[in-house]
Amino acid sequence: MEIKLASHEHSIGYHCLDDETDDKWCEKCTEKICGAAYACVKCELWLHELCAKAIQYLPREITHPLHSHHHLMLDWSGPAAPFTCDLCLKISSGTNYTCCRCPFELDLVCAFASSDDHVARKKRQRSNSERKQTMQHYCHIHPLVLYEYSNEGEHDYNCRWCDKPLTGIFYGCKSCGFFLHEFCSDKIPKTLNHPFHPSHPLRLDFVDATCNACTQWISMSKDFSTAAYGCQICNFNLDFGCAKLLPTLKHESHNHCLTYVGPTFRDLILKYHFQCSSCRELCLDTFYRCVQCDLNLHLKCVPVPPLAKHRYHRHPLLLNQPIREDEIGEYYCDICEKERDPTHEVYNCQKCTYIAHIECVLNQQETSTKQDSSSSPPISMDAKASELKEMEQTKTILVVQVRPVFHKHPLKFCEVTENLGERVCGACRLELSGPGYICQGCLYILHENCAKLPDEIQHPLHPQHHLNLYATSTSPDQNICDKC
């Protein structure tokens, strides 16, 4: 039995191969053939039966109306890596049509779309003729080309500024995978005041330096062709992606707000740069990070409890994997009513569709002051007692202080320090009394109040500058107070 391929000059005959004795490989899918196959013995061409029938009627060469100046050739197996169709911008793999003279590729759907589809597309292109077909954006080293997204289904790329799926008209650099919505292209600030570096504004520029947030060399990262934000005075830099990170979680074990680190850091190699400052294990999943102190904490070490209760929702909230509950691509937190990232872990209610940021659930004190109690019903004594009990239970959980300015190891809470002998506090050098924090490895000890000293203060006798907490002196005799 023979069949004729439209893309091959000879007929190909049917064969049945034994997996153990025959060693033939399919020219289309590049996998070993076992069982039914078709082959051209003259050309040593072998195909699985299904692969042969899939390409049976595909012509070797076509002329496409949107690339009419060159012929497009059929490539059975397609490129080694997934490619991007130049017509629909959909990521595809396998059989495609490619131009031998220029880097133009089409998937099979676009290659054989009806003429009506091409006419409609040309009309849309003419209506967009007033727009710039290419633009040199100040944040990317390569020119950005105008595209129109034509797929209504699954999206393959997100806008690099707002992180939302591409729709409608947008600009992009296909070789770098860098795309911007048309309406986002003029929203990217050239100067940024960022909470990671509040002392100076960060300016957008092409730099060859290390990103202070992800610790990766910017020129070696995925943003190597994109400008980064930097402070030349302090040599502080954030790559384009990390500049969008913000500290959100207030926690009593640390003076700075902590930043949720999620999909941005999912590079398997990059993850090994981060070690939890509490348990000393590698941060291989999502974690919280303080960029200023280079402090990292697993969610379990913060701790982020698996089950939480919020005063404005009657059901318990469960810590859950990222949730995409909205088909139109809009995701909001039900506590702060602000947009949330659908790739971040959240608290959600399993009895209803209540979903909230982790920080909005844990920062209950701040939330309660914002959502004033004037509109809330009065709280009964039983409810108040229950709330106080919950607060006490929460305090017993938060027993770890991580303060690199004092000591490099985690410090654990100790209710009584008098029984530790004649020891002094590592900060104030006074004799220990009452509760405190102790390093079990080095026996370094701090009073409870000293462990919570702020990293920075402003003093009326020196108002022109902030005063930073400094704890590296070797002897109390070496400290000289500028006031007394």
Q: Which residues contact 480 (CB under 8 A, 6 or more apart)?
A: none
- Read off the amino acid at residue 250: K
Give the chain's length.
Answer: 484
Q: CA Rg, the chain, in Å?
A: 31
In a domain, 468, yes or no: no
| Digitized pLDDT (tens) for each residue of the chain, 484 residues in all | 788 887 787 888 888 887 666 778 888 787 888 888 888 888 888 888 888 888 878 888 888 877 888 888 888 766 666 677 777 766 677 788 888 888 788 888 788 776 556 555 555 555 555 556 788 898 998 898 887 776 544 446 788 888 888 877 888 888 888 899 988 888 899 898 999 998 899 999 888 888 888 888 887 666 678 889 999 888 999 988 888 888 888 877 777 888 888 765 555 556 567 888 888 888 877 888 888 888 888 888 887 777 888 877 888 888 877 776 655 567 888 888 888 887 788 888 888 888 888 888 887 544 333 333 333 333 333 443 344 344 334 333 335 566 666 777 777 777 766 667 777 888 888 887 778 888 877 778 888 888 888 877 888 778 778 787 776 544 444 444 555 5
Say yes or no: 292 and 313 in one domain.
no
CATH number at residue 355: 3.30.60
In a domain, 203, yes or no: yes
Q: How high is the pLDDT of residue 266?
A: 52
In a domain, 33, yes or no: yes
Say yes or no: 367 and 313 in one domain.
yes
In a domain, 168, yes or no: no
Measured CA to CA, the distance from residue 295 to residue 383 in angstroms comes to 37
In a domain, 466, yes or no: no
Q: How high is the pLDDT of residue 478?
A: 46
Decide: 348 and 318 in contact? Cβ < 8 Å. Answer: yes
Say yes or no: 43 and 101 in one domain.
no
Domain holding 229, by residue range, is 191-244
Exposed/middle/buried for residue 209 (C-beta within 10 Å: 0-12, 13-18, 19+): middle
Q: Is the pTM of this model over 0.85?
A: no
- Name the domain count of the chain: 6
Measured CA to CA, the distance from residue 455 to residue 402 in angstroms comes to 12
State in Å, rounded, how far the first CA of the chain is from the last one: 104
Say how many CA atoms lie within 13 Å of 107 toward its Cβ.
Answer: 13
Q: How high is the pLDDT of residue 194?
A: 92
In a domain, 184, yes or no: no
In a domain, 17, yes or no: yes
In a domain, 476, yes or no: no
